[in-house]
Amino acid sequence: MPKVFTQIVVSLTVCGFVLSPALSWAATNQAKTDQAGPKQSAKARETRAASLSAKRAARQAAKQAARQSGPGTNVKNASSGPIVPAAEELKVLHLLNRITYGPTTADIERVEAMGVDKYIDEQLEPQSIQLPEAIVKYTNAPALKESPANLFLSYGRDAFGEMAKAARKKGPGGGTDVAVKKEIQQLLRDNYQELYGQTTDARLMRALYSPRQLEEVMTEFWFNHFNVSIDKGLDHLWVGSYEENAIRPYALGKFRDLLGATAHHAAMLFYLDNWQNTAPNRAPLRPGQKNKKFAGLNENYARELMELHTLGVDGGYKQADVIELARVLTGHGIVSKRSIAQQPAGMQSKFGYSFDPNRHDFGDKVLLGRTIKGRGVEELEEALDELSKHPSTARFISFKLAQYFTADEPSPVLVSKLASTFSRTDGDIKEVMRTLLKSPEFWDSRNVNAKFKSPYRYLLSSLRASHATVSNTKPLLGFLKLQGMPLYQCQTPDGYKNTEKAWLSSGGLLQRITFATALGANRNPAARISSVSTDEIMKVAGVKPTDKTGQVVASSPRSLQISLLFGSPEFMKY
């Protein structure tokens, strides 16, 4: 088996490649803005109207907050009271902390030069930013590029079909040759490791070094929102394909497209068992056939599709709706071995999706009070249209984004603003993000350095800040596992939380300090840091020499200073 973890040397200097094209793009953009001058007053009126309606909505939102659907909703609202804008000198750091995986000094200088607004606009158009070759190569790995069917055939059990066949009746006493059986097990494990290595390398290297940082952050956000896990059966073959084809292309696109893509990818259909979801009382395909696997409804995906992916748990659906949506979803499954050869091109082959009319319930359904005419595959499109347009969905998604990007208990005013952009733009994620990043709530001084980093963000931000050269991602994955956030291994469909409550624990904090100490002393087996000064890390951590942390650092041995900064209370937050 080829080894996955090839030695790679990429450092943050790759960002240098990007600097010039990005800057020239920014210049073009500036020209466009200038031309748009006369329209400004109309735009200002629009903005004011929007802010008025947002205020009205906010009042309602505050009332709703107690029973509102937000994950871990808490009415005790830290952000009540008037907004105090963050000080100018903190703005660049705050922005980089939130829309990237942590600033480097080079980033700070660059954004200071171009201005926060231009940087936001640039990050919202990831296609405009050129990707360095050193990163592109990770995206060509089979785990990301091959179709689910091909991955199944070349990496799954079937890849060893001949071997298994040959071993049958070859063992002592006429049974299966146990040694060969064990060898196959080992080869399979190697295959899974290989695919996992490709997928995690591609994720971590891009998160660390891609200049399209917001795209990386959004990809993680949406993967987590539409979570699947390698721990569920065949998904260990498909997680890479899922993220690359069903999540990443839509991370700043239309929510409806994202929802549709996840609903048609084999990884999701397998993870939430829908591939077996079958019309109840379906006549057997062959007389006398008993099929335990495909014998009736399975509510799993239907429920999570509404509870976690769209409406939110208090979004207004009932158990009856779960059953109706499960009926809509009957027959939507995974390409079978038999039908791989006749797979049409496009989404079906790329996503490993297949619709089996024989298992579909063709009766009419009533979802959320509306009748969906039974007619086959289009019913799902109609249901997804309805769900993605539903006001509960706008609100639920807006809450999650606001919580992720601003505060554990986000401002209800902001949530309403986002929800109204979501509804107005037909679920355009880019526009929702633009509203968010340009809102006064985002820039509220109380949000600066106020969120506790998830393990994933903590890891990445320390490596980015220290210009680390990552030679082996395995120890990094080990750290994430230790911290309770193993990559692609959140078993439950709700994904990982991103609040302080979820991640701050005594044991976890000590592990971070141990990690920081090793990284700062250049004793981390995965990553080497080079030529980074204490002052630089002070700057990215937002620590001033007069702060308590600054004083302790100054009075400590030089060899310990960077470790102390990475383990400081300030660096635990962002």
Partner 1 sequence: MNRRDFLKAGAMFSMSLMGIGLPGWAYGGTKSLEGKKLIVVFLRGAMDGLNVIVPYGDPRYYQNRPTIAIPPPGQKDGVLDLDSYFGMAPALEPLMPYWKDKSLAFVHACGSPEATRSHFDAQDYMESGRPGVKVVNSGWLNRILTQLPETNSPLRGINVGATLPRILQGPVDVASYTPQTAGKRSALDMPVVAEAFGKMYSGRNDALSRAFEEGLKANEMLTEKLSKEAVAADKGAPLAKSFKGFGQQLGKIFIDDPKVQVAFVALGGFDTHVNQGAGKGQLANQLTGLSNGLADLAAGLGDDFKNTVIVVMSEFGRTVKENGNGGTDHGHGNVMWVLGGNVGGGKIYGRLDELSEEKLYERRDVPVTTDFRTVISSIAQAHLNFGPSSLNNLFPDFGQNDKSLSGIIRS
Distance between CA atoms of 453 and 459, rounded to whole angstroms? 9
Pick between residue 276 and residue 411 the one whose CB is nearest to partner 1. Answer: 276
Distance between CA atoms of 275 and 266, rounded to whole angstroms? 8
Tokens 């990094």, located at residue:
476
Beta bridge partners of 234: none
Q: DSSP 3-state assignment of 470?
A: strand
CB of 557: closest distance to partner 1 in angstroms? 7
Distance between CA atoms of 360 and 332, rounded to whole angstroms? 8
Pick between residue 215 and residue 307 the one whose CB is nearest to partner 1. Answer: 307
CB of 196: closest distance to partner 1 in angstroms? 19
Query: What are the helix (H) ranges across 342-470?
Result: 347-351, 378-389, 391-405, 412-424, 429-437, 455-465
CB of 564: closest distance to partner 1 in angstroms? 6
What tokens does 519 get? 């990284």
> Minimal CA–CA distance to 496: which of 301, 232, 225, 213?
225
Beta bridge partners of 367: 370
Distance between CA atoms of 428 and 425, rounded to whole angstroms? 5
Pick between residue 249 and residue 296 the one whose CB is nearest to partner 1. Answer: 296
Pick between residue 147 and residue 563 the one whose CB is nearest to partner 1. Answer: 563
CB of 518: closest distance to partner 1 in angstroms? 7
Pick between residue 256 and residue 303 the one whose CB is nearest to partner 1. Answer: 303
Pick between residue 104 and residue 449 the one whose CB is nearest to partner 1. Answer: 449
Pick between residue 419 and residue 490 the one whose CB is nearest to partner 1. Answer: 490
Specify whether the CB–CB gap between 377 and 27 falls below 8 A. Answer: no
Pick between residue 437 and residue 540 the one whose CB is nearest to partner 1. Answer: 540
DSSP 331: T
CB of 79: closest distance to partner 1 in angstroms? 16
Distance between CA atoms of 103 and 346, rounded to whole angstroms? 39
Find the angle CA(32)-CA(35)-CA(37) to the nearest 5 degrees: 120
CB of 368: closest distance to partner 1 in angstroms? 17
Kindly tell me the burial class for residue 284, based on how many C-beta atoms sit within 10 Å of its own C-beta (0-12, 13-18, 19 or more). Answer: exposed
Residues 443-467 as b or e (16 or more Cβ within 10 Å = b):
bbebbbbbbbbbbbbbbbbbbbbbb
CB of 228: closest distance to partner 1 in angstroms? 14
DSSP string over 272-300: TTGGG---TTPPPSSTT---STTSS---H
Which residues, other chains included, contact 200 with Cβ-Cβ below 8 Å and sequence gap of 6+? 473, 477, 487, 488
Q: Which amino acid is at 468?
A: A
CB of 492: closest distance to partner 1 in angstroms? 7
Distance between CA atoms of 519 and 566, rounded to whole angstroms? 9
Pick between residue 372 and residue 543 the one whose CB is nearest to partner 1. Answer: 543
Pick between residue 15 and residue 468 the one whose CB is nearest to partner 1. Answer: 468
The residues of the shown chain that bind partner 1, judged by CB under 8 A, are 66-67, 71-76, 273, 276-278, 280, 292-300, 303, 307, 313, 319, 322, 452, 482-485, 491-492, 494, 500-511, 513-514, 516-518, 548-549, 552, 556-557, 560, 563-564, 567-569, 572
CB of 304: closest distance to partner 1 in angstroms? 9
CB of 573: closest distance to partner 1 in angstroms? 8
CB of 217: closest distance to partner 1 in angstroms? 21
Pick between residue 429 and residue 485 the one whose CB is nearest to partner 1. Answer: 485
Distance between CA atoms of 365 and 373, rounded to whole angstroms? 7
CB of 227: closest distance to partner 1 in angstroms? 12
> Minimal CA–CA distance to 312: which of 367, 226, 392?
392
Pick between residue 266 and residue 518 the one whose CB is nearest to partner 1. Answer: 518
